[in-house]
């Protein structure tokens, strides 16, 4: 199973997802209506049936916060200062390699974080819509209540990211076309458990890792606070995915489990196959970065797999392994795509590393 099969090509021996034209990108972004039908599941037991989910729901109630009043929006965000370290980011690392000055490197950090936050914002909208679907489809009170509470969380995340991007960074980038296709895949997924696996386990798990890196890499007070608050909610959402999928895997047939394993790999393989080309095509030319040459160079590095696996190994891959959704059926695929490795060094755990610059 491969998603986006018509938008793939080879770079060396690695198959990437890359969109051939601006028209193709606009076609993807302009598809605002996603056809979808599902059953609405009534149930008449209003008492708790799944204790760990009820506990998670209670934690969610205790963890509520107001995006407009609990964050000090008067605090400054200055793109000329050391807004973030840039560790693990592609654009500033390549700018250093090219011998760019510090002002340009700071600008590259700003632009890449702006892009990342924009994609997280679009992902939050997808999560808002998907959790509404889960509220309808869930068969127990605890699942319905938790999914409903996550709808509130996602609305708050959209609010806080949109406000931060508009008021503090001044720009919201359009959705990455590869991300749009993958989020649509989750929204039209057939079953409750595929949706939970796709959003809460895969995408929320990836978000936890991304936000962990952003939070650790910034010294800006308001940015840190925004990420800290959203990340706390996302960790709870990812926990819901693990708890729900654990019960699912224990009860489903071998054929159902096998399908979930294949589909999880297909979704994240599609995400990984883009290799950030969507961002590089949108922003790279500003810094004289040629996306094709950069991707070719990166894939020739000895530490490519270790670097590439960082985001996946942070949360998602360990959770899938614990759930029994990475077996010999897909393990070779995860490894060949650079998403699963056995050991990560402390040095390269977050770093995007390249050879020393000839211009340095």
CB 287 within 8 A of CB 91: yes
Give Cβ neighbours of residue 240 (< 8 Å, ≥ 6 apart).
53, 56, 146, 150, 196, 200
**Angle between the 141-164 and 102-137 helix axes, to the nearest 10 degrees?**
150
pLDDT by residue (tens digit) across 1-38?
799 999 999 998 899 999 989 999 999 999 999 999 88
- Read off the pTM: 0.94
Question: How much is the pLDDT for 359?
Answer: 33
Spell out the domain ranges in the chain.
5-20+86-336
Question: How much is the pLDDT for 346?
Answer: 39
Q: Look at residue 351 and tell me whether its pLDDT is greater than 90.
A: no
Question: How much is the pLDDT for 343?
Answer: 63
Question: How much is the pLDDT for 144?
Answer: 97
Question: How much is the pLDDT for 169?
Answer: 97
Domain 5-20+86-336 in CATH: superfamily?
Ribonucleotide Reductase, subunit A (1.10.620.20)
Q: Look at residue 236 and tell me whether its pLDDT is greater than 90.
A: yes
CB 249 within 8 A of CB 324: yes
Question: CA distances (Å), 107 to each of 119, 287, 358, in order?
Answer: 19, 10, 22
pLDDT by residue (tens digit) across 81-102?
778 999 999 999 999 999 999 9
């Amino acid at each position: 199973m491969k998603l986006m099969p018509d938008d793939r090509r080879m770079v060396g021996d690695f198959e990437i997802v890359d969109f051939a034209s601006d028209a193709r990108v606009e076609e993807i972004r302009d598809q605002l209506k996603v056809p979808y039908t599902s059953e609405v599941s009534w149930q008449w037991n209003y008492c708790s049936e799944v204790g760990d989910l009820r506990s998670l729901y209670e934690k969610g109630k205790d963890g509520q916060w107001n995006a407009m009043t609990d964050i000090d929006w008067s605090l400054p965000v200055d793109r000329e200062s050391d807004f973030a370290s840039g560790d693990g980011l592609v654009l500033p690392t390549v700018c250093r390699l090219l011998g760019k000055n510090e002002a340009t490197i700071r600008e590259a950090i700003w632009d890449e974080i702006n892009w990342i936050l924009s994609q997280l914002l679009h992902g939050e909208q997808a999560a808002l819509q998907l959790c509404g679907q889960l509220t309808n489809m869930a068969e127990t009170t605890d699942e319905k209540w938790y999914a409903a509470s996550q709808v509130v969380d996602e609305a708050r995340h959209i609010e806080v990211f949109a406000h931060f991007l508009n008021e503090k960074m001044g720009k919201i980038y359009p959705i990455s076309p590869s991300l749009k296709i993958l989020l649509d895949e989750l929204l039209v997924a057939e079953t409750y458990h595929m949706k939970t696996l796709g959003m809460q386990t895969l995408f929320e798990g990836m978000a936890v890792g991304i936000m962990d890196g952003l939070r650790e890499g910034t010294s800006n007070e308001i940015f840190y606070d925004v990420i800290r608050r959203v990340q706390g909610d996302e960790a709870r959402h990812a926990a819901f995915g693990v708890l729900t999928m654990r019960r699912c895997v224990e009860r489903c047939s071998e054929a159902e489990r096998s399908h979930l394993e294949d589909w999880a790999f297909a979704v994240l393989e599609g995400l990984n196959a883009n290799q950030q080309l969507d961002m590089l095509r949108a922003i790279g030319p500003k810094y004289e970065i040629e996306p094709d040459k950069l991707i070719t160079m990166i894939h020739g590095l000895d530490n490519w797999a270790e670097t590439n696996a960082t985001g996946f190994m942070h949360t998602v891959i360990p959770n899938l392994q614990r759930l029994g959704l990475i077996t010999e059926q897909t393990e070779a695929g995860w490894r060949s795509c650079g998403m699963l490795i056995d050991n990560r060094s402390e040095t390269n755990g977050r770093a995007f590393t390249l050879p020393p610059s000839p211009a340095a």
